[in-house]
Structure 1
């Protein structure tokens, strides 16, 4: 079926069935009154359809400020579908339909986009990730296991030379992956070009000396033409990974990078709380990540287990698993490219989270970023990296981390240093 389906969790004072009809009309052929040009034939061709309604509860007061009021606010999930002919295969125009004026409708006292079901023809029209997990490993010289990574901290304040010195200590420690902070792109104190030159010198010298190619995600986020120039510079310095703050550049900006990039695109979800924090308005990661992958992201941040932010472990687990699933169809039915990406765990991660992170995925195709979990190891960052590698080996071989640590002093010391978090999956 050549239709896009979207599922929403809504609340309304006018009844879920009526509110669903208003939503469908607003986001396709209708308005607050029926138009003369809105013929039956036009509606049959282009009107959104209500595919399913499930009532889930009621409340005596609205969850969000609402101009329309009532004694009863009904809640439910509704699935709406649109013909692909309404917007073609354009990601921005799809988003305008799925998440446009409907968030402002007075009939809705809560609305959250829960999921999107895309037809194969839509998925096939977009490039998706260029590298994914397999390509990432190849660019690193055939790396095995999860990528042990970290973030440049302080987030801002370090100049190019200071950043390069920190990178030197991290590559000497045996790190696999390093990323710029999302706040550090091309500021006057640490210009992109100069930071790139000095950090690349460290990375390339380390690769020549040891044979290990550490992947560094340089934050190229900027205006589109400047991002293209950043990509050219990155390629000239032998770079393998470009980081983009996806919400900041939008879907067209991300796609513009994908179309010009010869390297991995590391997708950072800075600003994610705007869409996710309220249960009553926003867009779920399950839905958003499909659009980001179609636009070309190879890596996607998913938060971390027992993190410092607001998301529960169950939400983090769902997010991480979602980016390793085909966007539509299956890997074997040839309906559309699988478009699989690598989840990136970060936020307060230590050796304790490695086993549950791997366990929920069932594979090593993820990036595990730890800041304090590496830098705060009593024996230094080198031991911090080794401890995480040992934790990953224990997880892969199904050995309890405390048992493995009996013969792994770096891991044992890390377990003693970092408090065991409560993880609920």
Structure 2
């Protein structure tokens, strides 16, 4: 790939000639509009126009995937042609500007009247361009160093109930979870700075328990405090976490935005735990939105350290294949020459019974395996819930069936009996 261009690949659906639509896309997202305008010289177009690099036509369909008022007014009929279109864009059009990069590769493309389907599938950047954006400051290796977990998956959990606890109650739960042996604890995405447990109270109360546990055992438990808010508040809360000896903050990426996350990244050396809640609105329809590869590319340019990928055999709508692919996206450097991998966070309906599928899919311990109910609802308590997950992980890595391994692991046996129903 030339150092002065980046690429995006799209899946389109249209009743028109795909090559014509591809040219509309290239023009719309660079120097053109629906007609050539004064000043749009050939020299300017050579310098600033996006270029259609390839078109791969796919099987057509008999009905449009999405409504389109313009095509309906024109009484366009099928077949509705589908194609994979690869377009390159001049780096100089965007510069080191993440919001504008996102607007360039997506933006008004979703509203084009020529299409009844538009999905951003992949992004590819030249190394010199990637180097100008933010990198993870903690990443996989730093998360392991902070928690002292040199091998094996990091076992984490989520504060439950999601909201409602006071700061003192939250701290009490954190103390029990630390004693239970977790490596990582995070707030729920809907609990940031509520009146009943404001961060100004919750952070010191929780970190007192974390420090006490660390002094007693030598183990630092990483807590991802949800500081989602306007930017000044996020910086203020990150500073408080740092003063209290914390190591991580969490933010809801889609609602904070690229600029806020970039500024937060540059402000703090804490691990940034990127929560993708709302991503389903961008991804669930196969002919609309964007794939996780493109999505996580943009957020990794903002410098996040962890990315949620959901969980295998979990409670959400994503198929396991998408979860697996998302995890491998996190493990893949964006360009050659940089270790900018981020740690995938597996969450949603996870328990000991979903460990074998997770290990089989990724064959890596470099992940956060987060279990809420699978730990907190274990019939013998949270410590047994944590033990059951670690036992399941050992069994999976050794290729032993959980039911067989459970004969020597009572916590795993109890989990299989209770959750396996």
Task: Pick one of 51, 54, 58 that aligns with 2:53.
Answer: 51
Q: What's the counterpart of residue 370 of structure 1?
A: 371
1:68 and 2:71 are equivalent in the alignment: yes
SS at match of 2:71: coil
- Map of 1:22-41 to 2, 5 A cutoff? 22-41=24-43
Task: Pick one of 288, 313, 319 that aligns with 1:312.
Answer: 319
SS at match of 1:58: coil
Task: Pick one of 250, 256, 261 that aligns with 1:254.
Answer: 261
SS at match of 1:76: strand
Q: What's the counterpart of residue 385 of structure 1?
A: 386
Q: Which consecutive unaligned segments of at least 5 residues does structure 2 have?
A: none
- Map of 1:330-345 to 2, 5 A cutoff? 334=337, 337-345=338-346
**TM-score, L = length of structure 1:** 0.95
Q: Deviations over 1:147-204 (max 9, x none)?
A: 1111111111111111111112211211111100111111212101100011111111
Report how far residue 15 of structure 1 moved: 2.0
Question: How far apart are the structure 2 equivalents of 1:142 and 1:403?
Answer: 27
Task: Pick one of 17, 20, 24 that aligns with 2:19.
Answer: 17
CA RMSD of aligned residues (A): 1.2
Report how far residue 41 of structure 1 moved: 1.0
Question: How far apart are the structure 2 equivalents of 1:374 and 1:177?
Answer: 12
Q: Deviations over 1:200-246 (max 9, x none)?
A: 11111111111111111001111111111111111110000111111
**TM-score, L = length of structure 2:** 0.96
Report how far residue 402 of structure 1 moved: 2.4
Report how far residue 307 of structure 1 moved: 1.5
Q: Which consecutive unaligned segments of at least 5 residues does structure 1 have?
A: 421-425
Q: What's the counterpart of residue 230 of structure 1?
A: 237
Question: How far apart are the structure 2 equivalents of 1:292 and 1:261?
Answer: 16
Question: How far apart are the structure 2 equivalents of 1:363 and 1:91?
Answer: 30
SS at match of 1:323: helix
Report how far residue 142 of structure 1 moved: 4.3
- Map of 1:234-245 to 2, 5 A cutoff? 234-245=241-252
Report how far residue 26 of structure 1 moved: 0.6
Q: What's the counterpart of residue 206 of structure 2?
A: 199
Question: How far apart are the structure 2 equivalents of 1:114 and 1:325?
Answer: 16
How many matched pairs?
Answer: 414
Question: How far apart are the structure 2 equivalents of 1:90 and 1:12?
Answer: 31
Higher mean alpha-carbon deviation, 116-125 vs 351-360, is at 351-360
Report how far residue 39 of structure 1 moved: 1.0
SS at match of 2:52: strand
Task: Pick one of 170, 173, 180 that aligns with 1:173.
Answer: 180
